[in-house]
Amino acid sequence: MTGAGGGRGESGVNVVSGVGGVTSVSGDSGAAGRAGKPTLAVVGATGAVGTVMLGILSERADIWGEIRLIASPRSAGRKLTVRGEEVEVVALSEEAFEGVDVAMFDVPDEVSAQWAPIAAAKGAVAVDNSGAFRMDPDVPLVVPEVNAHAARVRPRGIISNPNCTTLSMIVAMGALHAEFGLSELIVSSYQAVSGAGKEGVDTLRAQLAKVAGTELGTQPGDVRRAVGDTGPFPGPMALNVVPFAGSLKEDGWTSEELKVRNESRKILGLPELRVTATCVRVPVITTHSLTVHARFENEVTVPAAHEILASAPGVVLCDNPAEGEFPTPADVVGTDPTWVGRVRRSMDDPKALELFVCGDNLRKGAALNTAQIAEVVAAELTASRN
């Protein structure tokens, strides 16, 4: 891949298309043009994902009336910029949801668990980026390119956003499933340290500073001794990979691996889908990658898969290995789509494909998908009012 910024014009690379036609800055609004448009609340506006969210809201079509920024009481009064305007942060409280149509939550699970139902009770549709409600049967788990229809059925007034590991591959998988019928996924993730928050990023950067310019990495344990603090990770991240992400669950599986399995099944509407994941942390700041072995009901070919991926909304096909073109996290970071390369038909199974997928875990993996869900809801609310 020769730079993801443009993301087009190279062999095997298509143009990114969006969902619901809401993909670009309209620049037509300003305060005067916002009357009658839905009110959006961003809960957790000062956090890592909240910060990315404000950037995304400033880039996308300006469909919102007021954008209210909500955070913990200690952040109240801070001024943040969204859509080029300074907005004062208000403290999280019941009153803060007064008049809100859609409330996005970019906060820890326990905060969402408490406050998303309160926002819903106040009449807002809560779009939650935490893990608090993802597997609740009365809460849809939505990826607009794959199952936007599910957002309409929300008995609790809450819609969940999937985990970033699932999100980094599911748009491409959804497109292939629609054509070939998915029967099994075997994936390995290569997860960036920002998935573990600011502490994860700070830990890797500190460790890199300690190993830079040394000859470390040649003796057992030399890197571990040199870096000392492993922060939120169970091993050194510099000059290393760690085959463990999330927390330990039953039978040796991790929470991340179970999320890939359970969330993929729910989003694709395939409760019996065979899914196996091994989640690995790698020394990348931002952008998760996955290798995927995808088995289908029907025989597949690489040209047919290329055609589907090249035209799938939210996917960029970047697959010309002879020219060194394939996605890597270093090129994909900061971009919106799911990037797919290294598409091959399995040598021993004509019904299976092997792929390499990359997605920015803070954008499509978190803030962008939440913003897209909110846009789907806003379109529905706007249509029902007209």
Please, are residues 166 and 259 in contact by the beta-carbon 8 Å criterion? Answer: yes
The site that binds ligand 2RA (CB under 6 A) totals a number of residues, namely 8
Minimum gap (Å) between residue 370 Cβ and ligand 2RA: 13
Residue list 237-296, contact with ligand 2RA (CB under 6 A): 245, 256
Angle (CA) 298-301-306 rounded to 5° is 120
Does residue 111 bind ligand 2RA (CB under 6 A)? Answer: no
- Give the residue nearest to ligand 2RA (CB): 195
Q: Per CB under 6 A, which region of 157-165, 219-227, 260-268, 349-357 contacts ligand 2RA?
A: 157-165
Q: How far is the CB of 1 from ligand 2RA (least distance, A)?
A: 22
In angstroms, give the least distance from the CB of 129 to ligand 2RA.
9
Span of 35-43, 159-167, 291-299, 343-351 interacting with ligand 2RA by CB under 6 A: 159-167
Kindly tell me which of 177 and 259 has the beta carbon lying closer to ligand 2RA.
259
Q: Which is nearer to ligand 2RA, 256 or 331 (CB)?
A: 256
When binding is defined by CB under 6 A, the residue of 14, 165, 203, 240 that contacts ligand 2RA is 165
**Choosing from 177, 279, 288, 358, which is the catalytic residue?**
288
Residue 258 CB, shortest distance to ligand 2RA, in Å, is: 12
Closer CB to ligand 2RA, 38 or 365, in the complex: 365
CB-wise, 51 or 382, nearer to ligand 2RA?
51
Interaction pattern, residues 187-206, with ligand 2RA; x per rule: CB under 6 A: ----x---xx----------
Sign of CA dihedral 49, 337, 285, 213: negative
Smallest gap from residue 275 Cβ to ligand 2RA (A): 16
Q: How far is the CB of 263 from ligand 2RA (least distance, A)?
A: 11
Mark the segment that binds ligand 2RA (CB under 6 A) among 81-89, 101-109, 110-118, 158-166. Answer: 158-166
User: 3-state SS of the chain?
Assistant: CCCCCCCCCCCCCCCCCCCCCCCCCCCCCCHHHHCCCCCEEEECCCCHHHHHHHHHHHHCCCCCCCEEEEECHHHCCCEEEECCEEEECEECCCHHHCCCCEEEECCCHHHHHHHHHHHHHCCCEEEECCCCCCCCCCCCECCHHHHHHHHHCCCCCEEECCCHHHHHHHHHHHHHHHHHCEEEEEEEEEECHHHHHHHHHHHHHHHHHHHCCCCCCCCCCHHHHHHCCCCCCCCCCCCCCECCCCCECHHHCEHHHHHHHHHHHHHHCCCCCEEEEEEEECCCCCCEEEEEEEEECCCCCHHHHHHHHHHCCCEEECCEHHHCECCCHHHHCCCCCEEEEEEEECCCCCCEEEEEEEECCCHHHHHHHHHHHHHHHHHHHHHHHC
Check: CB of residue 185 under 8 Å from CB of residue 264: yes
* Residue from 14, 130, 161, 163 in contact with ligand 2RA (CB under 6 A): 163
**Is 279 one of the catalytic residues?**
no
Q: Determine, following the binding rule CB under 6 A, whether residue 333 of this chain makes contact with ligand 2RA.
A: no
Q: Is 164 in the site for ligand 2RA (CB under 6 A)?
A: yes
Rg (CA), the chain: 21
Q: Is 318 a catalytic residue?
A: no
Minimum CB distance to ligand 2RA smaller for 247 or for 386: 247
From the candidates 164, 279, 318, 358, give the one annotated as an active-site residue. Answer: 164
Least CB distance to ligand 2RA at residue 245 (A):
5
Q: Which residues pair with 275 in a beta bridge?
A: 185
Note the residues at the interface with ligand 2RA (CB under 6 A): 163-165, 191, 195-196, 245, 256
Catalytic residues: 164, 288
